[in-house]
Structure formats: C-alpha cells, structure tokens
A and B are shown apart, each in its own frame.
Chain A
Amino acid sequence: MDDALRLDERRAAARPIAPPSKPRRSAIRENGVILAGLGALALVSCVLFMTIDARGAWGFVLPFRGAKLAAMLLVGHAIAVSTILFQTISANRILTPSIMGFDAFYGLIQTVLVFFAGAAFAAALDPKLLFTVETITLIGFASLLYGTLLSTGARDIHRLLLSGVILGVLFRSVSGLMQRLIDPTEFVVVQDRLFASFNSVDTTLLGISAIVIAVVTLAVIRMLPVLDVLALGREPAISLGIEHRRMVLIVLGIVASFVAVSTALVGPVAFFGLLVASLARVLVGSREHAATILAASLLAAIALVAGQTILERVLGFDAVLGMVVEFIGGIVFLVLLLKRGTA
C-alpha cells in the first residue's frame, strides 16, 4: 500500500515489464517427491499382495488375486475422490458421502427393487444392467436431495451433519423394514448384495465399474481448475464466474457414481474416505485438487492393498480389513469433530 501512498512517483515510473513474480509451481510438482513416494509405496504393496505366498500356483492365484486387487484399487480411488469432491462442494472437512447417507440410499434402491420386483426377477436380470439402473437412480436422487440441501443455505456444518445422519438412518430403517417384510429366501439375495465386503468382492461388476470410474475420473480431471474455485465457497466461486448450482449438481452426480461403484463392489464404507482425504491434505495441502486427489487416491490404494496384504498374508486375519480402516477413519472423524467444527 506504500505504492498507493506514493502513487505519483509510481505513475511516473514506467510499468515494470517483468515484475518480480515467482512463477508458482503447480502443486503436483511442488509435492513431486511425496507423490512419487506414495506411488512407489502403492506399487510395492500391489506387487507384494500379488506375490506373497503364491507358491507357484500362478494359473489360479493371478486371476483370483488380480480381481481382488483391481477391486481394491477401484474402490479406494472411488472413496478417496468422492470424499474430497463432496467436501469441496459442502465447504467442510468432516463430512463424507457415506456419513451423508449416500450408500444407505444405494442400499435402499436395491432393497426396493427386490421388494417390488421380487428376488427371482432381480436375480434373473443382468447384474450389469441392474447396476446401471441403480447408479442412474442414485445420481438422480442424490442431485435432487443433496443439491437442495446444499443450495438452500444449509451451510451450517452441524445442520448438514445432522441432516445426513437422519437421512442415513431413515434410508437404513426403510430398507430394514422392507427386508423384514420380504420372503426370507428373497432376503438372502438382498443380503448378498448389501453385505459385500473387502473380502467377498462382487467381481461380476469389475468390468463395468472400471469403465464408470474411468469415465468419471476423466470428467474430474477436466474439472480440476473449477474444483479449485469451488473450494473457495459459494459466493467467491460465483463472483469468479462459476455457475455454482450447476457445478454442484454435476459434482454430486460424479460423487454418486463413485459411491455406486464402491458400494456395489464392497458395500458401505463410512469413515475410510475421511482418513485418506485428511491425510492427503496434511501431506500435499489443499491448494490444487490435482495434487490432493492424486495423493488421496494413492493413500487409499496403499491403505487397502498393504493393509489386506499384512492382515491376510502375514497375520492370517482374513475378514477384518474393513473393520480396521473404519476404526482408524472413525478416530480421525472424532478428532476432526472435536478439533474444530468447520475446517
């Protein structure tokens, strides 16, 4: 502001041709070492997961473990990116799509389908077709419901959190009620779909999941600069020329697609996204989504693949990965909630 005070002198001097601007390096380059390290760790985890204890039975082990590995990578990426995107549009660092009831809603869609169409019908349908229909329904409802919630000024974090918890409980209770009303044999069909876990990955949907994730990830990459502006909050984003409502709906659609994939493959995961998103921000900051998203996705891959390798191959506990990541994520959630309400 000294310049403004001495404005006449300043005006007399010609405008500097090359001002002393330090070209800011992109966040990816700035954190190149960290990101490369994470990439290497993720790679090592994958190799170890595929090879430890294989005992030469490659013909069986490779496709079996390969499918499981692919599922973990897809799910990790989906949860990490959807969490960061949802936190960007809701302008807080505590909520995840899951806490807001996205996956409960996905479960409800599945239950409703079996309830009204019958398990026989649902089972006869091509699972890929079913998945597509369910995903589109989730995108539609998520945009409607959460779009309204986010744009009607419900920016108070605690109100959002409460709405999410209530919606989640509502969806789960309605699902539960319907499941109790249907035939026990039909219930088994629903249960199969709802209680997938990291250990019983639904591999029939791997191909279509990979396609969905690829398409949606491309969309995210194209939106990266816009996401950075959205992170400033509603009013600053509008001032900078973002069609805020439209962008929030698009991002919600993307988040819903990610959630559909991860829920279809391994079932609901509540706090894991929070864990990797928070850790990614600590490691590479939150200035550019490009870096934050990449870091979160790699962290998710490391946590799931390395975690599964250690638990299953080294410690011999097969089914606890979901529990472990949720436990740690839950602790992060509590810490964040206690530390500060909004940021």
Chain B
Amino acid sequence: MIETNALSKRYGDTVVVDGVTLSLPAAEVTAIIGPNGAGKSTFLSMIARLLSIDTGTAHVCGMDVAKAPSDALALKLAVLRQDNQIVARLTVRDLVGFGRFPHSRGRLTGEDRAMVEEAIGFLGLQDFAERYLDELSGGQRQRAFVAMVLAQDTQTILLDEPLNNLDIRHAVAMMRLVRRAADELGKTIVVVLHDINFAAAYADRIVAMKNGRVAVEGRVEDVVTETIIGEIFGIEASIRQVDDQIVCLFRR
C-alpha cells in the first residue's frame, strides 16, 4: 500500500510535482504514464526517499518515508531507477547480491544466495552471472538491475521504465513477471511505462500524469480512451478492443 498526500517538489520557480494525492492499493500493479517531463520519476524518487519532499507526505506500508529509518524502509520498498550507473566494477551476481543487503547486512547466508540465484534465473541472466556489468548489452544490464530489485524481496516495488532497452520478448516476460509478483506474492508494484499498450495489458490501474499533476487515474478501461490519451499526449489515438485486450494505435 502506497499513499501520498499533496506531494510536491519544486526546482526554483518550477513546480515539477504538484500536490499529488494518490492511494495505490496492495497487491495491485499500477502503471504511471505521461509525457516526458511530466514528473513521473520525480514522484517515484520522492516515494523512494531518494529525493527530498518539499511539501506533502508519502507513506509506504504505513511508514512515513521522510521519517522512517532507511534500513526499515529498505525491507519494505525496492526501487529501480530510470538510469543506473555504477562506478564500482561488479559482476551481475555481485550486483544482485547487493539486493540482499537490507536482510543480511553484507554477510550472505545460504538463503540469501538462493534468492540471488532465483532472481538471476527469473531475469534469464544465468549465462551472464559472472560477467561484469560493463560487458553486457543495454538490455542485459537493465535486467541485472531489475534482478537486484527482485532479490531485495520487498512488499512494495517501484520500477521506473523497466522496459528500457528490452526487446519485445523480454519486455513481455518482464511484464508477466510483474503481474505474477502481484498475483502470486501479493506485491504492490508501481511501474512507469511509456508504451500504453503494455500499461493497458498488464496493469490493474493507470495513473496518467501531466505537468506534475495527476491528470486521470483509474481502471485501465477508464483511462485508456481516445479523448484522455489524446489530451495527455497531444496526439490523435485510436483505441480498439482486440480479443479481450485494449490496444492503442497512433494515426499516421
């Protein structure tokens, strides 16, 4: 469960997140969509205590993120950032192992190791486990960072554009994994997506942001409509029902 109340962030005179009040229920997948610069990453970073909150509050699993001890939060909340750069030279297994730090404080137990291997397996990285991160392709590296987030094994997971760099097969697998984590393990997942079709296919709920505010929020069928998508992105879109799925096409 994630709750924000009038969450705001400003840089100088520009308000980039403007009084966002949201309640994201447990065991659901929420997709955040919106144009570049809408404030999606800023919003997520504040919830993940990576960025200070100017005004408002954010609660994760009942904990106020601005006040709760960081190590206690790390047991409840994991986050994938939009851009990941690491100075240290690490292998995939090293990196994923760091996901266990909140639990083991650096001394991996047998159980920790098992979870690391499981996360590596889930992301299909078995063959690359001993490779250094700078020897991977963009998509492989992205998957390694997601594996680290999974290894942290938290109730709440924030993923900022997890499909970056992924081919369609891995993108589908990633979204299935997300779906499964919510359905089978009851995890609360917030995922920033640019592909509306992915959001429509895999999310329970969609939050559309524009200019730092929540423009629309609701079930997929309520948000993915021609008027709403057209308004938020400023383009003409055709929404169709194909089999039981809502799809979004963009006019030439």
Contacts and interface: CB of A to CB of B under 8 A. Distances in A.
20 contacts: A1-B143, A1-B170, A1-B173, A3-B122, A4-B122, A5-B176, A7-B180, A19-B113, A21-B116, A226-B106, A232-B98, A233-B86, A236-B84, A236-B86, A239-B152, A240-B74, A241-B70, A241-B74, A287-B90, A287-B91
A149 interface: no
Nearest to B175: A4
Contacts, number: 118
B235 interface: no
B116 A225 contact: no
B102 interface: yes
Given A1-B170, A239-B74, A240-B102, A286 B88 contact: yes
- The range of chain B's interface size is 35 or more
B129 to A, nearest CB: 8
Given A7-B176, A23-B113, A240-B102, A1 B123 contact: yes
A242 B90 CA distance: 19
A15 to B, nearest CB: 8
A1 B174 contact: yes
Contacts of B180: 4, 7
A19 B124 contact: no
B124 A1 contact: yes
A243 interface: yes
Contacts of A92: 87
Contact of B113 (A21, A238, A239, A241): A21
Contacts of B123: 1, 4
Interface of A: 1-5, 7, 11, 16, 18-21, 23-24, 91-93, 224-226, 228-229, 231-236, 238-244, 281, 285-287, 342-343
Contact of A241 (B73, B93, B124, B143): B73
Nearest to A289: B88
Contact of B102 (A16, A23, A241, A244): A241
Contacts of B88: 228, 231-232, 286-287
A78 B243 CA distance: 68
Contact of A285 (B85, B89, B116): B89
Contacts of A343: 87
A301 to B, nearest CB: 25
A4 B87 contact: no
Nearest to B105: A225
A228 B108 CA distance: 13
A20 B117 contact: yes
Interface stretch (B75-83, B194-202, B203-211, B224-232): B75-83
Contact of A4 (B48, B117, B177): B177
A233 B45 CA distance: 15
Contact of B107 (A225, A235, A285): A225
Given A3-B124, A21-B113, A287-B94, A242 B70 contact: yes
A226 to B, nearest CB: 8
Contact of A239 (B48, B87, B93, B172): B48
B127 to A, nearest CB: 11
Contacts of B98: 228-229, 232, 236, 240
B122 A225 contact: no
Contacts of B84: 236
Contacts of A281: 89
Interface of B: 45, 48-50, 69-75, 77-79, 81, 84-91, 93-94, 97-99, 101-102, 105-108, 113-114, 116-118, 121-124, 143, 152, 169-170, 172-174, 176-177, 180, 184
Given A5-B172, A286-B88, 8 more contacts: A4-B177, A92-B87, A225-B107, A228-B88, A239-B50, A239-B78, A240-B98, A287-B90
- Scoring B87, B90, B113, B180 by chain A CB atoms within 10 A of each residue's CB, the highest score goes to B87
A39 B71 CA distance: 37
Contacts of A20: 117
Given A4-B180, A241-B101, A243-B70, A231 B121 contact: no
A244 B63 CA distance: 19
Contacts of A286: 88-89
Contact of B106 (A7, A21, A228, A236): A228
A32 to B, nearest CB: 18
A3 B121 CA distance: 7
Nearest to B132: A285
A91 B86 CA distance: 8
A24 B71 CA distance: 25
A5 B117 contact: no
B69 to A, nearest CB: 8
Contacts of A4: 122-124, 173-174, 176-177, 180
Nearest to A2: B124
A300 B43 CA distance: 46
B94 A241 contact: no
Contacts of A234: 50
Contacts of B106: 224-226, 228-229
Nearest to A92: B87
Contacts of B152: 239-240
